[in-house]
Structure 1
Amino acid sequence: MEDENYLFTVGHSNVDMETFLELIRSHGVELIVDVRSSPYSKYVPHFNREKLKANLEDEGVGYEFLGDKIGGKPRDEKYYEDGKVVYSLIEGELSYREGISQLMELLKTRKTSLMCSEENPFNCHRHNLISQTLLRRGVKILHIRGDGKLEKARMNDVQTTLI
């Protein structure tokens, strides 16, 4: 399969840094776009923004943070109903559209992967929000799973096609 025209997504989960780097290396990722609303973790501190960026740069992989614009856990309560995020409310915001535009520009520069913390894309806004927006714009998306296998994202899927 020719995957050079795809946007990748990956969740760092609770793996060590070397395992994560191998996942992205194996698919030729050149740029990580961090879409976590808060790019810090007390459970896996090696994925804290500054440390992650330094490790990626040591590997020759770029790092961009867009979680402030296209993150899945906004601070404002207006985006929640019954304690759950309503993605359609986020998608309608100017800052989200600006973040998507920035991402579209980044996609033109290098082989790119969105990154969030959740390994399973179906439990994450990178599939349920961002990928859905991008698929409507004609972007092809592959989710890198924890075992290194790829799944092709489709509109409104709760499952994708393993490839």
Structure 2
Amino acid sequence: MSDASRGFFTIGYGGRPPEEFTGLLRAHGVKLVADVRARPDRASMGAYTKAKTADKGIEKLLADAGIAYQWLPELGNVFLDRDEWTARYTELIDRAGDLLTDRLVELPGPFCLLCAEKRVADCHRRTIADFLVRQGWRVVHIE
């Protein structure tokens, strides 16, 4: 990564009202949310759904708060339905982390990795963050 000294944030929206969620992002100066969910288009996610058009769902929620949105499907947790997802996703990042995270360098900062789980300890975004920290990045987990 060419700019490994960069910092970034992570956040989970689970159980957060949309106003609290966007307030936390604004309070931390986040300019772009990098969505690392495998299926952000699921309708059960309400305001956090990636709708078919940017004037609805998460893109509208963020745009109304002055925050850009980018979906990064390559960072989605493809092992989420397996009991051993943590070990499998960690192995994937250990083997292909440079390839999977290369678009993050291009994102305007400060950016924030987004997933559903409110607690970072329960989410694959922790694995992504740990990989980036080993590359020299700085992270703040918004909890």
Where on the TM-score scale, by shorter chain, does this alignment land: which range? 0.7 to 0.9
CA distance in 1, matches of 2:62, 2:50: 11
Q: Which residue of 2 aligns with 1:65?
A: 71
Structure 1 residues 75-154: aligned runs within 5 Å: 83-85=83-85, 86-91=88-93, 92-93=95-96, 97-106=98-107, 109-127=108-126, 129-145=127-143
Instruction: Give a deviation string over 1:43-64, Cα, whole Å, max 9, x none.
Output: 4411001310111112221000
Corresponding letter in the other structure for 1:60: G
Corresponding letter in the other structure for 2:118: E
- Equivalent pairs, count: 130
Q: Structure 1 residue 53 and structure 2 residue 59: aligned?
A: yes
Instruction: Give a deviation string over 1:21-63, Cα, whole Å, max 9, x none.
Output: 1111111111000001111455441100131011111222100
**Structure 1 residue 97 displacement after superposition:** 3.5
More helix by share: 2
**Structure 1 unaligned runs (5+)?**
146-163
**Structure 2 unaligned runs (5+)?**
1-5, 52-56
Q: Percent identical across equivalent pairs?
A: 28
Q: Which residue of 2 aligns with 1:23?
A: 24
TM-score for both structures, normalised by structure 2:
0.81
TM-score for both structures, normalised by structure 1:
0.72
**Structure 1 residue 74 displacement after superposition:** 4.2
CA distance in 2, matches of 1:49, 1:22: 19
Cα RMSD, aligned residues only: 2.0
